[in-house]
Amino acid sequence: MWDERYDTDDYVYGTEPNDFLREQVGMIGEPPRQVLCLADGEGRNGVYLSRLGHRVLSVDASAVGLRKAARLAERQGVPLETRVADLTEHNFAAEAFDAVVSIFCHVPEAGRPHLHRQVARTLKPGGILILEAYTPAQVPRDTGGPDTPDRTPTAAELEAAFADFEILSSREFDRQVVEGRGHTGLGAVVQFIARKRPA
């Protein structure tokens, strides 16, 4: 599905970074930091972070999307490492990243516990998770996101999954999301920031 969606000349979600990431990017710390971008698709967020001087690994299930990410990085003159992976199964190295960025990463409910465990595993102590996703309230809207609630997390789910972290911010609300033609209009989102506690 994602290969088919990304198989077009334009960038479905635009080439500018997510607003929430841009607002909170200072939480990552002074570059260069090692940053993992989950479900980075066509690379808009990973390339943005690389432009700031971070060392970025963009991971996505779509090889087509990541080829576009690599082209975007090349056009903007920055490095970007990419990896095709199923996030419901992939294992990341322990304590490899200073930050994990998860922007509209929507995987099936059955696969999210594995992904959450991998985020906790791969973050270094003191590392930061920055996440924005659509919630189940988004599903009936025609402004982007999954068409089934199975792929949408809630703040309560994230708070439980990362209960061992220091939760810095967790809220659900409606906001205007304008990111290419893929996300356009009022969206029901969860925004979540948490820091892995030192060992």
Structure confidence by residue, pLDDT tens digits, 101-138 = 999 999 999 999 999 999 999 999 999 999 999 999 99
pTM: 0.98
Cα 71 → chain centroid: 19
- φ, ψ (nearest 5 deg) of residue 187: -125, 145
d(CA 36, CA 7): 24
Contact (CB, 8 A) for 192 and 131 = yes
Mean pLDDT to the nearest integer, 160-176: 98
pLDDT on residue 1: 81
pLDDT reading at 199 higher than 90: no
First-to-last alpha carbon distance for the chain, in angstroms, is 40
User: What is the DSSP annotation of the chain?
Assistant: -HHHHH-SSS-TT-SSPPHHHHHHGGGG-SSS-EEEEET-TTSHHHHHHHHTT-EEEEEES-HHHHHHHHHHHHHHT---EEEE--TTT--PPTT-EEEEEEES----GGGHHHHHHHHHHHEEEEEEEEEEEE-GGGTTSSSSS-SSGGG---HHHHHHHTTTSEEEEEEEEEEEEEETTTEEEEEEEEEEEEEPPP-
Q: In percent, how much of the chain has pLDDT > 90? A: 98
Over residues 3-51, the pLDDT tens digits come to 999 999 899 999 999 999 999 999 999 999 999 999 999 999 999 999 9
Residue 108 CB neighbours (<10 A) = 11
